[in-house]
Amino acid sequence: MTDATEPLSPRLGAVILAAGQGTRMRSQLPKVLHPLAGQPMIVYVLEAAEAAGAGDLVVVVGPGADQVRAVLGTRARYATQEVPLGTGHAVLQAYPLLAPACERLLVLYGDTPLLTADSLRTLLAASREATIALLTAEVDAPQAYGRIVRDAAGRVLRVVEEVDAAGAERGIREVNVGAYVFDTAWLGAHLPQLRPSRSGEYYLTDLVALAAAEGQAIATVPLADPVEGLGVNDRCQLARAEAVLRGRVRERLMRAGVTLIDPASTFVDATVEVGVDTVLYPHTFLQGRTRVGARCEIGPSTQLVDTEVGDACRIVWSVLEGAVLSENVQVGPFAHLRPGARLARGVVIGNYAEVKNSILHEDVQQHHFSYIGDAEVGRGTNIGAGTITCNYDGQQKHRTEIGPEVFLGSDTLLVAPVRLGARSGTGAGAVVVRDVPEGKLAVGVPARILRDRVVPEAGAAAAPRVPEGPPPASPVKGGEGDA
């Protein structure tokens, strides 16, 4: 008996069949590119083959499959099946790219994303003593699967496709999953011997009957979990595969030290990483290339897309897209961080606050009802309620620079491009159209320099209200807040 943990031959190639038209998906997108838990289904197949030890991969695509090539890039080489003449014909197109460099060929279907690397390793171990090894499964409803036909002694005789099964063959519950390992030399000699079926297609499974007739060793490996063999042919099967993959992701996270308060209502893409002792609350979505550090609290009802979160952050009832957060950052509720938001240690973003393409340095406070876009905000600055950087003049975006320890009064409008020096401030309702020097206080519409800003010492009472005086008659520089 061969131990599945023994080292595998490095001379293993893999062929992934992805030339099917996928008509039952009723989609303009190639079937194998439909996303599952955050990445195209064919990527799962590719990753399983790589993890099982395949050193050279060829993907068989149909004509015009530029989308598949764009997604996989240089992770694989490509063979084109110009005319859809079946799985045997597809492997024949890929064979010259792999033989004779590979001693064995792993053949997989691009629409079987649930197959695990462990199952493929077991199949490869069984293939050492066989000309053909294939995965099988016992299913209650074998419709649409090829049946494994055996003789009285249990030896495999052939695989009969659903369309060709008749009589007792239709009741066979052991089915072909669609994962094979072939002796490369034997495969090359026998692929040209395949004959077209009644449909005109050349079945790869007909090689099993050829091998049996020659007395070649044929190994079958039953799947411990038949769901791994699910092929995705329509939207219903797509949804089923999605549920299985997301369940695997949740289990992986929990076993790695992440707490999910309600796993069933927590949705994490397979591409996401989460640190230990982080807690994910219900109705939380972690998507794309999101990375979450340790000891965080995320959710409830929070969405992170392509976002990096440092350790010990708390994010509630908010949406973050393409943002980067350092450690000890608080966000929400009801905040929105858009692409390019960069928050340093200790930043606090409160309710109905929005940040876009801006850097907020350490300990910036932006508690509520404000918009910061195309800006850099210095350490320790306080952003009052209703503050808006008016960064768009109708034609282009402009930058706002806010120094450290600045105090922005409520309803301040910063009409970019504009710069506020360190420890400067604004009065409530100020419309700032010119730079504010370091340490100065600007008030009014448009804002003018009133006096030096008085910075209260720690623990001192709040400064008295600043009189704003009569509004000047000069016009206000244009600019709207960028939504």
CB 56 within 8 A of CB 13: yes
Structure tokens at 165: 């099964």
**CA atoms of 306 and 215, how far apart (whole Å):** 54
Q: How confident is the model at residue 469 (pLDDT cuts 50, 70, 90)?
A: very low
What Rg value do the Cα atoms of the chain yield, rounded? 31
> What pLDDT is attached to residue 458?
58
Considering only CA atoms, which of 368, 361, 358, 427 is closest in space to residue 389? 358
Amino acid identity for residue 343 in this structure = L
Above 70 in pLDDT, residue 8? no
Amino acid identity for residue 318 in this structure = S
Q: What is the mean pLDDT of residues 125-147?
A: 91
> What pLDDT is attached to residue 471?
46
pLDDT digits (tens, 9 = 90+) for 398-407: 999 999 999 9
The predicted model scores a pTM of 0.88
pLDDT digits (tens, 9 = 90+) for 346-395: 999 999 999 999 999 999 999 999 999 999 999 999 999 999 999 999 99
> What pLDDT is attached to residue 470?
47
Mean pLDDT of the chain: 91
Integer angstrom CA distances of residue 99 from 80, 137, 189: 17, 30, 11
Above 90 in pLDDT, residue 34? yes
DSSP 3-state of 90: helix
Above 90 in pLDDT, residue 339? yes
Instruction: For residue 343, count other CB atoms closer than 10 A to its CB.
Output: 29
- Domain positions in the chain are 12-233, 236-452
**CA atoms of 356 and 372, how far apart (whole Å):** 6
CB 274 within 8 A of CB 292: yes
Q: What is the DSSP string of 26-81?
A: --SS-GGGSEETTEEHHHHHHHHHHHHT--EEEEEE-TT-HHHHHHHGGGSEEEE-
CA atoms within 13 A on the CB side of 48: 28
Give the torsion sign (CA, 192, 197, 200, 202): negative
Q: What is the DSSP string of 277-321?
A: T-EE-SSEEEETT-EE-SS-EE-SS-EEES-EE-TT-EE-S-EEE
Q: Which CATH superfamily is domain 236-452 in?
A: Hexapeptide repeat proteins (2.160.10.10)
Q: How confident is the model at residue 459 (pLDDT cuts 50, 70, 90)?
A: low
Residues 6+ positions from 108 with CB-CB distance below 8 Å: 14, 15, 16, 17, 45, 48, 49, 115, 178, 179
Long-range CB pairs of 290-296, under 8 A, 24+ apart, other chains included: 293/327
- 207's enclosing H/E stretch is helix 206-213
Is 89 in the active site? no
From the number of C-beta atoms within 10 Å of its C-beta (0-12, 13-18, 19+), residue 175 rates as buried
From the number of C-beta atoms within 10 Å of its C-beta (0-12, 13-18, 19+), residue 279 rates as middle
User: Which position among 89, 190, 368, 398 bears the catalytic label?
Assistant: 368
Q: 436 pairs with which residues across the strands?
A: 420
Determine how β-strand 348-356 pairs with β-strand 336-337. parallel
Residue found by looking up tokens 């979990």 in the block: 225
Q: Do the two domains 12-233 and 236-452 of this chain adopt the same fold?
A: no
Q: Give the alpha-carbon dihedral of 96, 100, 101, 102, to 10 degrees.
A: 90
**CA atoms of 293 and 310, how far apart (whole Å):** 5
- Domain 12-233 classification at class level: alpha beta
| pLDDT > 70: percent of the chain | 92
